[in-house]
Structure formats: structure tokens, C-alpha cells
Structure 1
């Protein structure tokens, strides 16, 4: 019997979390056992009770509302025991029927390929069908912190790292790499994990096709929203869901090479200088522009 423990984190989006949990129903073939560990990060909308109604045996870890994704997932993973695989699953994912079977089959096909494989599942937008999350590859050696998302193919694809929305992590990889680094404030922990795995002679693959739906994050109201003032964008950039300096420092020091200080500083400098130039240009009357 193959044991899979699903690790998830949620906060105050009960209906979304419920849809995700319902999509797990029926995912297990007879030879697979499935358990779920969910970090409920201080939800006040009844998410935990709704989750227990769908999966009576679910193990709910309680957060204080300030964990965000990385810390929430790290807490959930810390409670996972006696498993052959962890399945990272974002609570806004709706799995296709048979998604888990396809991930496990991809892993079986890759065992013996030379490196210990973990397998990411690509996801698509529920309305447009466009790929929203997948594996990623570095753009070039000269831009070690810039990544390009890959579209899944009809065969497994080897990538540099991955989005953490849907990832099958075998125990053998966990024993080498450890768990998600909960010292990240929110994002970056998934890219960090894949890169650390690669450095320890593991391989990151994307399973064939897409395995479910997950809408991409909107830039509206984020630090990438060009309609906001540069000062508001800089404020948002420093929040956990932006590009928080401590987390970005942790990432660049690990993965950007000897020039990491420059890679750490560049996004903040680019936003500040570029944003001020754009605002200054907007204030100049059209008649006065060259």
C-alpha cells in the first residue's frame, strides 16, 4: 500500500478550500491510502469545520493568521508521518479526476532515471485553459533569479524548479532536502525547494498535460499594479505577499551566486527609480515633452 499525505494551508476562503477538498474525493486507486494535514491559519469563516465534514479524518493544525503559505505549509508538513509521498496542494486548486494517479505513474516512470525525482503538476485557468502554474526554467546563467514557466508536454519535462501549487514529493527527496523552509514569509519557498533539491542530486519534473485548474493571481492591488503610486507599490512590495526583503535576501543568497547583493537590491531600485521617472513624466505637460 502506497501512503500519500496531502499537505495544505488555508485562510478564510471556506468555499474555495471546500472545492479543493471535494476534488480529492475519489482520487485514490485501491493500492493508495490518502491522508490530509491542513494548516488552518486563523480562519474565522468555519473553514476547519467544513473541511472536517468532507474528510472526517483530516488533521487540522491551527495557525494564528500570520503564517501565510510557506509557514503554513511547513507546519502542515511537520505533522506528516508514515508516508511514501507528500502531496503539496494549494487550496485554490481543483484537481482533475485521476490527477493523483497520473502524478504517481509519472514518478514510477522516472524512477531509475539517474536522479531522485519529484513531480509537479501543471495547472490551467478554469476559464481560458491557459497554463497558470507549472515547472519553470532559468532564463540564463546571467539572470539566475529570472524564471520562465514551461507548458506541459505529452511526456515528462525536466525543469529547474516549480510552482508549489501541486507537487508530489517522495519521502526519499524529503530525507535529502528536508521540508519547505518556513523562514520564508509566503512565496519563494517553492522555487527555493526545487533549487535545493536540484543541488542535492534530485530532479524536478513536470507531469504530462495539465492536472487541474487554478486561476492565476491578479496583479491588481499588488506591487506590480502600475495604476498605483510608486510609494504604495513599494509599501506593498515589502509585505509578505509582495517581495519581502528578508525572504528575497534568503533566496538570493542561496541561489543568485556571488553577485547576490546586486540581485537582491535590483527589484527595489528598479521599482523606485523607474516608478519615479514614470510619475515625473506624467506630470510634464504633453506640449513640453520632446
Structure 2
């Protein structure tokens, strides 16, 4: 049985749209677990009223993404889940999303699968995985490597985000949950998929499993769009800062080959410190 784990903090309209899209799936053989981490916008009441089939777990109000996901994953694993999926509430999935994910999952030995992300409004491609160059700190996107008419099926990828990430239970048995103690919000999903690869599991981007995202709605986008010294500080040091220097350092130390670590860190710090203003 597949369990889909969605951490939530406010933004009720996104959560409702996400759950509505899951209700429209052609394959309904799954359960949804919402981790409501102290929402103050009526999320708990709305879920209880509109989605009685959804399991709601209550957080402490300070879980952030990683600990929130882990809370839901522990519950799902205790329920006997054989496949688990992490998903953000600010996505909407296409009707055949679950069906195409499970079709891929049953086509080969246990592997991890990520979603093909499109802009929910314009339908333009946003993200499809890729490969990180440890020496230069650059990222080669599958969107650049794979022509539009070839974007189907599954393509190997190095790292994947947690927005629609399908994971077999055996991965958790081998490497544990997400690294909430050192990566509380950003980088935890990329860290997890890379750690899974190091443990011998293959990682694929599934072009057949599409979801819509709202790229302007991430917490760090507000820091980037409203340039100020305060937002610059949040960008670099806040838990929700997309360029958080501490978390980047932790990710690099855990995953980068030692030979390239000094150069990777230097390139990464430069991109993050200067990139905000550029």
C-alpha cells in the first residue's frame, strides 16, 4: 500500500487544491497522511470536515519540513506501508500521477522516483532532476539534456526534491529517515536521494508522472523578490532560507567526495553570498 505524506503549515487553499487533485486520481490505492504543524488558518477543521479519509497528525509547531515528513513517514511505516511518497501541499497532481508512478515502481527492482514538475499556471517545465558537478558546483539539468519530444519514461538522476518523491520501504530499512537533526528544512530531500544512491539504490526522474507547482510561492522566493539586508540575512541563515550556509555545508560534508569538498564549498559560498544581489 502507498502512503502519501504531506507536511502542512497554513496555506489552506493550497492544501485543499492538492487533496482535490489526489481525489481525482485514476488509481485510488493509496492513503494520505497530513502532518499539520500548528496551522492557524483553520486547516485542522477544514480537513476534518472535507477530507475524513485523510489521516491528520498534529505537530509541535516547530517541525519544519524534515521533522514533519519524518513524523508522517513513521506513522506510515508503522501502518505497514510498502511504498511511501513525500509531497508538498503547494502542488497539484495530474489524474494519472499515482498510476504512472506505481507503474514505474513495478517495472524494476526497488528504486526511487521523482516527479516531472510543470508550472501549474503556464504549464511550462520547471524541474526534472539532473546531475551535480562536485568539482564546479554547477548543476546539469535533465530539462537541458532531454529534448521535449523525448520526455517520457524514466531517466536516471542524481538528486531529487521531495515534491512527489516515491520511495520503497526497503530504502528506509537500509538508511533510515530524512536527516532532520542536521538538515531541518532545505537540502534534506537532495541529501536523502543521494544517500540512497550511495546505498545502492537507483534514482529516476519519471517524466510520465506530472505535477503542477507554484514556483513563486516558496518561502525563499519572498526573500529574493523583496531585496533588503534583513531578507539577505534570512536568505543565508534562516531555516527557511534557500541559501542557508549552515545547511549547505552539512549537505556538502555528507555527500561531496573529499577530494572536491574544498572547491565545492568555495564555489557554493560564492554563489550563495553574491547570487542574491545578482
Which category describes the TM-score, using the shorter chain as reference length? 0.7 to 0.9
| Distance in 2 between residues matched to 1:274 and 1:207, nearest whole Å | 30
Counterparts of 1:1-290 in structure 2 under 5 Å?
3-27=1-25, 29=27, 33-80=29-76, 81-111=79-109, 116-138=110-132, 140-143=133-136, 145-151=137-143, 153-183=151-181, 184-217=183-216, 220-222=221-223, 224-225=224-225, 228-229=227-228, 232-242=231-241, 243-258=243-258, 259-261=260-262, 263-264=264-265, 266-269=267-270, 272=273
CA RMSD of aligned residues (A): 2.6
- Aligned-pair CA distance for 1:90: 1.0
Structure 2 CA distance for partners of 1:265 and 1:42, relative to 1, 3 Å: farther
How many aligned residue pairs are there?
265
**Is this contact kept in 2: 1:21–1:51, CA < 8 A?**
no
Structure 2 CA distance for partners of 1:141 and 1:49, relative to 1, 3 Å: same
Structure 1 unaligned blocks of 5 or more: 279-290
| Distance in 2 between residues matched to 1:232 and 1:127, nearest whole Å | 27
Greater radius of gyration (CA): 1
| Distance in 2 between residues matched to 1:274 and 1:42, nearest whole Å | 33
SS of corresponding position for 1:179: coil
- Aligned-pair CA distance for 1:250: 1.7
**Is this contact kept in 2: 1:9–1:40, CA < 8 A?**
yes
TM-score normalised according to structure 2 size: 0.85
Structure 2 CA distance for partners of 1:251 and 1:94, relative to 1, 3 Å: same
The one-character-per-residue Cα deviations of 1:115-137 (angstroms, maximum 9, x if unpaired) are x3111111200222122233221
**Is this contact kept in 1: 2:65–2:185, CA < 8 A?**
yes
Task: Tell me whether 241-250 or 34-43 shows the greater mean CA deviation.
Answer: 241-250
- Indicate the structure with greater helix content: 2
| Distance in 2 between residues matched to 1:37 and 1:86, nearest whole Å | 10
**Is this contact kept in 2: 1:133–1:165, CA < 8 A?**
no
TM-score normalised according to structure 1 size: 0.81
The aligned residue for residue 283 of structure 1 is none
Structure 2 unaligned blocks of 5 or more: none
- Aligned-pair CA distance for 1:272: 4.9
| Distance in 2 between residues matched to 1:134 and 1:49, nearest whole Å | 35
- Indicate the structure with greater strand content: 1
